[in-house]
Amino acid sequence: MHNVALFDSREHKFILLNESEPGEEDGIRSNQYLIVHGTGGVLLDPGGFGVMPRVLSEMLRYVQPEQIVAIFLSHQDPDIVGGIATWLELLKAPVYVSRIWMRFLPHYGLTNMAPFVGVADEGMDCEVAPGFQLQVIPAHFLHSEGQINVYDPVSKILFSGDIGAATSGNDGEQAFVDDFAAHIPHIEAFHRRFMCSNKAIRCWLQNIAGLDIQMIAPQHGPVYRGAAVPAFLAWMRELQCGVDLLQPGGTFAS
């Protein structure tokens, strides 16, 4: 399954470009997204080195490399950043990532850090095209210490990075989450272990509280829409996770 249009109007598109094939992510589906506004394109978490050729091929259906005006990296993991050095051989666009990961990025084979913009802890509004802004929203410790989310106010889609990620179950043919209760087994273990704490979750929920969110698009697994959006947020609000569950000796409470 490729190229799912999450939002499509004459001037604006939000596209799920590609999901990695089984084996590339140990069977865990990895999503890459493209926002097109007018003639400009924005890549969200373009992915590891292995998926780059296929993501590029899918991207070229909508925009050419010279039309990419920004890249956003939700955090520092290799399944997000691993292909960035190769991307920057083709694209001349600023790359936005939390400021705390700037010193780590050269380990991905980068020799020129000039394109990178360090996002402050409080996030930012980013004008990526005349009259069009994306909101960069802090999501610290969920699971990365410097994770950022990106909210598109036109499509009303929140790109959530690893928040909402599904890392179990056969979701390869499922583009959307409609029945949230049925989806919980695919996300619960990951969120209990990889989200830092309920305090971090509630800080994030406060950060997004004023947004009109029609869909939540995570970096792994299907996209939340309709009633699944408030159901997921309510579930997160009560979730005990990470250090909430940590016990002496390195075990985690069940």
The CATH number linked to 149 is: 3.60.15.10
CA 87 – CA 219 distance, rounded (Å): 18
What does pLDDT average to over the chain? 90
pTM, two decimals, is: 0.93
Return the minimum-mean-pLDDT range out of 42-51, 81-90, 163-172: 163-172
Residue 252 or 94, more confident: 94
Nearest to 153 by CA among 206, 202, 210, 98: 210
Residue 254 lies in a domain: no
pLDDT at residue number 22: 44
Task: Note the pLDDT tens digit of each residue in 105-147.
Answer: 888 888 888 999 999 999 999 999 888 999 999 999 999 999 9
Residue 183 lies in a domain: yes
Distant-in-sequence, close-in-space partners of 29: CB < 8 Å, separation ≥ 6: 19, 20, 166, 171, 172, 220, 221
Q: Mean pLDDT across the stretch 240-254?
A: 90
| 29 pLDDT more than 90 | no
| 24 pLDDT more than 90 | no
Nearest to 187 by CA among 223, 150, 155: 223
Residue 73's domain comprises 4-244
Residue 186 lies in a domain: yes
Q: Is 234 helix (H, G, I), strand (E, B) or coil?
A: helix
Residue length, the chain?
A: 254
| 243 pLDDT more than 60 | yes
| 87 pLDDT more than 80 | yes
Give the whole-number percent of the chain exceeding pLDDT 70: 93
Residue 152 lies in a domain: yes
Residue 237 lies in a domain: yes
251 CB burial (10 A radius; 0-12, 13-18, 19+) = exposed
pLDDT category, 30, cuts 50, 70, 90? confident
pLDDT category, 4, cuts 50, 70, 90? very high
Task: State the total domains in the chain.
Answer: 1
Residue 253 lies in a domain: no
Residue 12 lies in a domain: yes
Q: Mean pLDDT across the stretch 218-232?
A: 96
pLDDT at residue number 169: 61
Task: Note the pLDDT tens digit of each residue in 166-217.
Answer: 987 654 568 899 999 999 999 999 999 999 999 999 999 999 999 999 999 9
Q: Mean pLDDT across the stretch 81-94?
A: 90
121 CB burial (10 A radius; 0-12, 13-18, 19+) = exposed
Residue 249 lies in a domain: no
pLDDT category, 224, cuts 50, 70, 90? very high
* Residue 123 CA from chain centroid, whole number: 15
